Amino acid sequence: MIKVIIADDEDKVCQLIRNLVDWRELDMEIAGIAHNGVEALDMVRELSPDLMITDIRMPGYDGIEMIRRARGLSENLSFIIISGYQHFEYAQDAIKYGVGDYLLKPIKREDLMASLNRIRQKHLRRSERISKEKMLYDQLKCGTEKLRQNLFADLLPGKAVLPDGAGPVEVNRTYRYSFRPGLYQVCAVKIDCGWEDEYDSAIRILEDKAVQIISRTLKGICFDLETSFMDSTTWCVLNYAPEQKKNLRKSMKSLLDELMLQKAAFEKFSFTLGIGEAEPEVLMLHRSFQSAKYAVEQRLVVGCDRLIEPAHPPVSTGCADGLLSDFDRKLSLFLEILDRDAVQACILQLGKKIEEEKKLSGEEIFYVASQAFDLYLTHLRGLKIAVESGGERRGDFLTRANRCGSVSQLFAYLCARVTGSLDRIAEEKRQTDTRPIRQAKQYIRQNFRSALTLEEVSGTVGFSPTYFSTLFKKETGSNFVDYLSEVRMEEAKRLLRETNLNVAAVCEQVGYSDQKHFTKSFRKFTGLKPNEYRKLYA
């Protein structure tokens, strides 16, 4: 039996969870109910549960602190968090500690069952209690799922579409679907959250939630349905009878309403439902995919948190290419001198022009942003600056840019990515420029006892004396002679404090051949004669 603890400060919520499902059917048992974080932690110590269902905020230790402490007591303890408020920061912190799922109040039986089944499968795999028959079934199911996912790969733009003449029978045989004659349609749930790394874990949880909601709201209407998640977009292929078209439309609205409820826990996230054209032939599914993709991209124009109807790209006006041409000309000039601020202003100006230009589609807007980044990379290569490292990875840029739900957010990301890259390049250039100075300083410290000259030191780093002298002053704030004197005086001070060498010997040890000159230099540097310094500090 999988032992479960329920933790919520509202007893009626605890009893609801307890009575909502048949726990024995899931091979689970309620081991205890806690009404605050302290009680919950005590139960973790005493009962060693496998799963805890906990409110995100409770008396005693709040949900996050309790999860952190409980994780320290039991590394394999699974968690499902529940919340009825906009507690995005709490949810994000909980996800960092490995929370597997979340539920929104009021809790629905089907949501709870879906979460419990996932936890159960995870627990069984970990405890190696799956029978051979079940393992074989899972392997066959996994193989079927892979074949079904191949359909999405073949629908992607730029890849092979379905074979000519393919009908439901051929597609069913190739991809293991159960399509019937009727309508074929693609829709997409787009999750937007910005480009920051902190949202990666939340996107994975929302992916599962989107699949659950799609299945619950649309499966009963369709002959067959399949989903595929690609970064921040859940794609869905539908096959249904023509007479179900109106019902499907209503269910799509319900689907969006349920997605919007998730904002209670993830208020900084946005959801868009893009719908592709319903096609009469399975062979035309790629057209539905393209129109759904275009609909999703239109959120950059009409906004997120809405359902966007099927649409096809209009004929291009050439406006996007005109904006890029002007941007490229300015970018080239500013990058040649690595003027970070001018490049930043150039990108922000491009974003402003995009917002003012009413003729551009969402597809064209994203095209401009991605091409602007490509132009930046191209100019870096032309300047012999290494790319494809750090901030210059194109694939990563496109993935994170695709999570931006508005023009302003998209171009703010482009700006942050490019300026961050330029900062790195400037720092590397500074390190390269100053490396000879660091080498020269090291050479001086190793050889200050000899009669060093500017010509000798500059020669060791491959610079002319004039250029070296200018660069040395710029990087250290002092000229070569002053720096050499400072090194010698610091060593003289050490010898006077820590040894019994007389002044003449100290003078010789630090590279001076004239004791009178040494004494004069020492007094200028410290304000004291060598013997006076020794009396005070030895």
Q: Given this model, what pLDDT does residue 291 score?
A: 92
Q: Given this model, what pLDDT does residue 140 score?
A: 57
| 487 contacts: CB under 8 Å, gap ≥ 6 | 444, 445, 448
The C-alpha atoms of residue 487 and residue 492 are separated, in whole angstroms, by 9
Q: In angstroms, what CA-CA distances link 515 with 464, 480, 533?
A: 32, 22, 16
What percent of the chain is modeled with pLDDT above 90? Answer: 54
pLDDT confidence bin for 325, thresholds 50/70/90: very high
CB neighbours (10 Å) of residue 433?
Answer: 12
The one-letter code for the residue type at 87 is H
Q: What is the dihedral of CA 246, 251, 253, 256, to 10 degrees?
A: -150
Q: Given this model, what pLDDT does residue 158 score?
A: 46
CB neighbours (10 Å) of residue 352?
Answer: 13
| Residue of 343, 293, 294 lying closest to 314 (CA atoms) | 294
pLDDT confidence bin for 159, thresholds 50/70/90: low
Looking at per-residue confidence, does 405 or 434 come out higher? 405
Report CA 355 to chain centroid distance, whole Å: 25
pLDDT confidence bin for 196, thresholds 50/70/90: confident
| Residue of 38, 52, 41, 64 lying closest to 5 (CA atoms) | 52
Q: What tokens does 446 get? A: 């190793």
Q: Given this model, what pLDDT does residue 357 score?
A: 87
Cis-peptide into 59, omega within 30 deg: no
The answer to whether 207 touches 189, Cβ cutoff 8 Å, is: no
Looking at per-residue confidence, does 24 or 135 come out higher? 24
Look at the pTM and tell me if it is higher than 0.85: no
pLDDT confidence bin for 272, thresholds 50/70/90: very high
Query: Each residue of 119-143: pLDDT tens digit?
Result: 888 887 766 654 555 555 555 556 7
Q: What tokens does 239 get? A: 């096959």
**Residue 227: its H or E element:** strand 224-230
Query: Each residue of 355-375: pLDDT tens digit?
Result: 998 889 999 999 999 999 999
- Find the range with the poorest average confidence among 44-48, 263-267, 407-411, 424-428: 263-267
Average of per-residue pLDDT across 412-431: 90
The C-alpha atoms of residue 225 and residue 230 are separated, in whole angstroms, by 17
- Find the range with the poorest average confidence among 116-130, 460-474, 508-522: 116-130
pLDDT confidence bin for 165, thresholds 50/70/90: low
Q: Is 222 left (phi over 0), alpha (psi -120 to 50) or beta?
A: beta
Average pLDDT, the chain: 87
The C-alpha atoms of residue 57 and residue 14 are separated, in whole angstroms, by 14
Domains and CATH numbers, the chain: 2-130 (3.40.50.2300), 134-308 (3.30.70.270), 319-427 (no CATH), 448-537 (1.10.10.60)
Average of per-residue pLDDT across 180-195: 94
Radius of gyration over alpha carbons of the chain, in Å?
34
Looking at per-residue confidence, does 115 or 413 come out higher? 413
The answer to whether 26 touches 53, Cβ cutoff 8 Å, is: no
Per-residue buried b or exposed e for 310-320, using 16+ beta carbons within 10 Å of the residue's own CB = bbeeeeeeebb
The C-alpha atoms of residue 103 and residue 80 are separated, in whole angstroms, by 7
Q: What tokens does 300 get? A: 């950059």
| 109 contacts: CB under 8 Å, gap ≥ 6 | 20, 21
Q: How far apart are the first and last CA of the chain?
A: 77
Average of per-residue pLDDT across 83-99: 64
- Find the range with the poorest average confidence among 207-216, 290-299, 426-435: 426-435
2-7 and 51-55 beta bridge pairing: parallel
Q: Given this model, what pLDDT does residue 389 score?
A: 61
The C-alpha atoms of residue 254 and residue 233 are separated, in whole angstroms, by 18
Q: Given this model, what pLDDT does residue 358 score?
A: 83
pLDDT confidence bin for 220, thresholds 50/70/90: very high
| 443 contacts: CB under 8 Å, gap ≥ 6 | 457, 460, 461
The C-alpha atoms of residue 151 and residue 142 are separated, in whole angstroms, by 15
The C-alpha atoms of residue 207 and residue 229 are separated, in whole angstroms, by 7
The C-alpha atoms of residue 130 and residue 132 are separated, in whole angstroms, by 7
Report CA 316 to chain centroid distance, whole Å: 32
84: Cα within 13 Å, side-chain hemisphere: 10
The answer to whether 328 touches 375, Cβ cutoff 8 Å, is: yes
| Bridge partners of residue 81, in order along the sequence | 54, 102
- Find the range with the poorest average confidence among 44-53, 66-75, 354-363: 66-75
The C-alpha atoms of residue 225 and residue 219 are separated, in whole angstroms, by 6
